[in-house]
Amino acid sequence: MVDEIHLDSIDSTNTYAKQHSSSFAPDRITCITAEEQTAGRGRFQRKWVSPRGVNLYATFYFRLPANTLHLISMGQVMTYSFASLLLQAGLHPKIKWPNDVQFEGKKISGILCETSFTRDFVELFLGIGVNVNLEEKIAKQIDQPATSLLIETGRIWDKWALLKALQKQFAANLEKFEKEGFTPFHSAFENLLAYKGQTVRCFDGKKEWVGICHSLTNDGQLNLYLPDKTICTMLSGELSPGRS
């Protein structure tokens, strides 16, 4: 179902996938993992702290038709796939739109979604980092509030079993997404939204918007309710809790 490439040490599994994608099966998912990343990358050119052995660093590579419905929310399908595994394990994660899974405002997982378009198809490089067995003293050194499964549950997790479960969940969700876009995930994703009904700041890359985190559009974009009572729909951005 999923082809696997496991690396010991690499700069970034996303970078590796981009460099080698021509050798991957065009009609399957290829999942590249590494024990450590020496230059793990996050959104907005941030660094992703990737110490050896303790965490999951994985890039899912696959192709979709260039005209795929709701393509913009593909990363959110991965986010939801991971969050739903946590729900199945009895945990209570939140999703900080668009792609962060968190507990009490502390990030446990992030997704870097990169694309490469040809006329007929788009290549997707969905990189997911999950803090699995990261210890609290290391988590505290990260430049934003971070947590791990170990910290949240007090036990060591089998990261490869978690990866297998994620591959299965994501492959099933991708099949759904290819047929119906983001629609089947919309309400479950919206129910997990962090800061729902609260004032947030959203930086769209150019400008910071302040408004109430209101709802999601059918294709996964964020509706912010602005002070002038209009709705502003964010295509992408970085959310943080704002003044209320």
- Asked if residue 181 binds ligand BTN (CB under 6 A), the reply is no
Q: Which residues contact 207 (CB under 8 A, 6 or more apart)?
A: none
C-beta of 57: minimal distance to ligand BTN in Å? Answer: 4
The length of the chain in residues reads 244
Instruction: Identify the CA nearest to 86 among candidates 75, 71, 72, 102.
Output: 102
Residue from 5, 13, 202, 214 in contact with ligand BTN (CB under 6 A):
13
Residue from 75, 98, 110, 220 in contact with ligand BTN (CB under 6 A):
110
By CB atoms closer than 10 A (0-12, 13-18, 19+), residue 222 is buried
- Asked if residue 42 binds ligand BTN (CB under 6 A), the reply is yes
Interface segment toward ligand BTN; rule CB under 6 A; list 35-43, 142-150, 170-178, 210-218 = 35-43
Determine what percent of the chain falls in helix, strand and coil, rounding each to the nearest 5.
30, 35, 35
- Asked if residue 133 binds ligand BTN (CB under 6 A), the reply is no
- Asked if residue 46 binds ligand BTN (CB under 6 A), the reply is yes
On the CB side of 98, how many CA atoms lie within 13 Å of its CA?
26
C-beta of 34: minimal distance to ligand BTN in Å? Answer: 8
- Asked if residue 59 binds ligand BTN (CB under 6 A), the reply is yes
Interface segment toward ligand BTN; rule CB under 6 A; list 76-84, 87-95, 124-132, 162-170 = 124-132
Token couple for 64: 């979709």
Cis peptide before 184 (omega within 30 of 0): no
Token couple for 182: 């983001």
Q: Provide the CA 211 distance to its chain's centre, in angstroms.
A: 23
In the bound state with ligand BTN, the residue whose beta carbon lies nearer, of 37 and 167, is 37
Site for ligand BTN in 73-102 (CB under 6 A): 100
C-beta of 153: minimal distance to ligand BTN in Å? Answer: 21
CA gap 207, 210 in Å, rounded = 10
In the bound state with ligand BTN, the residue whose beta carbon lies nearer, of 42 and 237, is 42
- Asked if residue 176 binds ligand BTN (CB under 6 A), the reply is no
Residues contributing to the site for ligand BTN (CB under 6 A): 12-14, 37, 40-43, 46, 48, 57-59, 100, 110-112, 127-129
